[in-house]
């Protein structure tokens, strides 16, 4: 995980330096105007990826960089200039920070950063949208269908899914072990998977043996360039992006199946602590971020529990209107 973080930060700094060169500015001498121009450039860039040779007319509808992505890139640049200030190369950091302060009487006064914080709810596909995704997945290779099924069944993160090993599975009890070293929290867990996913696993293993007969990483590349090598998380991202385009759902991402699974568990009445253990969360607060019941679910719950109470409390308003 730390190596991936370092690599991501290095890519961010390299990209910013390339932008500065295109602007004819030395990165050491950058002022706030260049930082703002860089953020505008990031926002205007077309999204990466493609449809991997499939017929797709939805590329233009793909989302622009998210608020979180822009804030992450800005954090990379801020830390870069923090380092330059610490080393005495610069006297100030051109990346403005948001600050909170208090005025007299305890009132709050804040200074906004370049990018405001948005807490956007993740996209959860409806029943019709999920059906479209599954219909499009029917034409995918057996490996991709199994990966999609496991991502949903076990609420797996992208890294956890791609790191699965043949020895992680207990087919007799339909259990899979998520090893600690592959998880975000460095805490392992054992989760079940459905009979349908078990059938896909049984169908995939013979196909895998045509690539390698040795035990090890479960999901192998079929590309001539990387044949029989473990599939990378970037390859899985491209597969999911292409699948979403061809299903008419360009919002589909590698984390969508995890969101949908955890939300479905809440819909059928799982306790929040049970969902947290299933998801591998250390904090209940983390779990709450993944539970986004639809308006239909909330309407049904309201009708079953609180509708009469609310009607009684608002009855006087109705009488005044009459």
pLDDT 10s digits, 120-153: 677 889 999 999 999 999 999 999 999 999 999 9
Q: In the prediction, which pLDDT does 5 show? A: 81
Dist CA 257 CA 286 (whole Å) = 17
Residue 50 has pLDDT above 90, yes or no: no
Q: In the prediction, which pLDDT does 54 show? A: 42
Q: In the prediction, which pLDDT does 110 show? A: 47
Strand extents, DSSP E, 146-211: 169-170, 175-178, 189-192
Q: What is the mean pLDDT of the chain?
A: 83
More confident residue, 42 or 252: 252
The phi, psi pair for 156, rounded to 5°, reads -90, 140
Mean pLDDT score, 162-188: 95
Tokens representing 97 are 């920070």
The confidence band for 303, taking pLDDT boundaries of 50, 70 and 90, is: low
Please state at what angle helix 127-137 crosses helix 233-246, rounded to 10 degrees: 110
Instruction: Indicate left, alpha or beta for 175 from its phi (over 0: left) and psi (-120 to 50: alpha).
Output: beta
Tokens representing 191 are 């989760």
| Tens-place pLDDT, residues 178-211 | 999 999 889 999 999 999 999 999 999 999 999 9
Dist CA 293 CA 90 (whole Å) = 49
Residue 90 has pLDDT above 70, yes or no: yes
Question: How large a percentage of the chain has pLDDT more than 70?
Answer: 76
Q: In the prediction, which pLDDT does 82 show? A: 94
The confidence band for 71, taking pLDDT boundaries of 50, 70 and 90, is: confident
Burial of 271 (0-12, 13-18, 19+ CB in 10 A): exposed
Per the confidence metrics, is the pTM higher than 0.75?
no
Residue 73 has pLDDT above 60, yes or no: yes
Torsion over CA: 120, 122, 127, 128 (sign): positive
Mean pLDDT score, 42-62: 51
| Tens-place pLDDT, residues 277-301 | 999 998 888 787 766 554 445 556 6
The confidence band for 56, taking pLDDT boundaries of 50, 70 and 90, is: very low
Residue 37 has pLDDT above 60, yes or no: yes
Q: In the prediction, which pLDDT does 51 show? A: 43
Mean pLDDT score, 28-43: 90
**Can you list the domains of the chain with their CATH numbers?**
2-97 (1.10.150), 127-288 (1.10.443.10), 292-322 (no CATH)
| Tens-place pLDDT, residues 24-34 | 999 999 999 99
């Amino acid at each position: 995980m730390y190596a991936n973080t370092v690599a991501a930060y290095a890519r961010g700094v390299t990209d910013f330096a390339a932008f500065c060169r295109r602007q004819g500015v030395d990165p050491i001498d950058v002022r706030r105007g260049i930082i703002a121009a860089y953020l505008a450039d990031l926002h205007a860039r077309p999204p990466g990826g493609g449809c991997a040779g499939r017929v797709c007319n939805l590329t233009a509808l793909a989302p622009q960089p998210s608020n979180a992505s822009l804030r992450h890139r800005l954090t990379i640049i801020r830390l870069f200039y923090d380092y330059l200030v610490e080393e005495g190369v610069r006297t100030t950091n051109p990346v403005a920070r948001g600050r909170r302060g208090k005025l007299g009487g305890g009132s709050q006064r804040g200074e906004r950063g370049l990018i405001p914080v948005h807490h956007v709810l993740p996209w959860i596909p409806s029943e019709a949208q999920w059906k479209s995704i599954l219909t499009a997945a029917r034409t995918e290779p057996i490996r991709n269908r199994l990966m999609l099924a496991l991502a949903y069944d076990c609420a797996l993160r992208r890294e956890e899914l791609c790191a699965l090993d043949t020895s992680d599975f207990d087919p007799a009890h339909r259990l899979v072990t998520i090893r600690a070293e592959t998880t975000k929290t460095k805490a392992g867990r054992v989760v079940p998977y459905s009979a349908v996913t078990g059938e896909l696993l049984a169908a995939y293993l013979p196909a895998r043996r045509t690539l390698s007969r040795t035990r090890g990483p479960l999901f192998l590349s079929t590309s001539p360039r990387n044949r029989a090598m473990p599939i990378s998380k970037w390859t899985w991202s491209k597969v999911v992006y292409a699948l979403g385009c061809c299903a008419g759902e360009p919002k589909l991402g590698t984390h969508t199946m995890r969101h949908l699974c955890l939300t479905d568990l809440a819909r059928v009445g799982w306790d929040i602590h049970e969902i947290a253990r299933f998801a591998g969360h250390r904090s209940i607060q983390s779990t709450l971020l993944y539970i986004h019941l639809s308006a239909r679910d909330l309407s049904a719950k309201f009708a079953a529990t609180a509708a009469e109470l609310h009607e009684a409390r608002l009855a006087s308003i109705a009488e005044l209107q009459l």
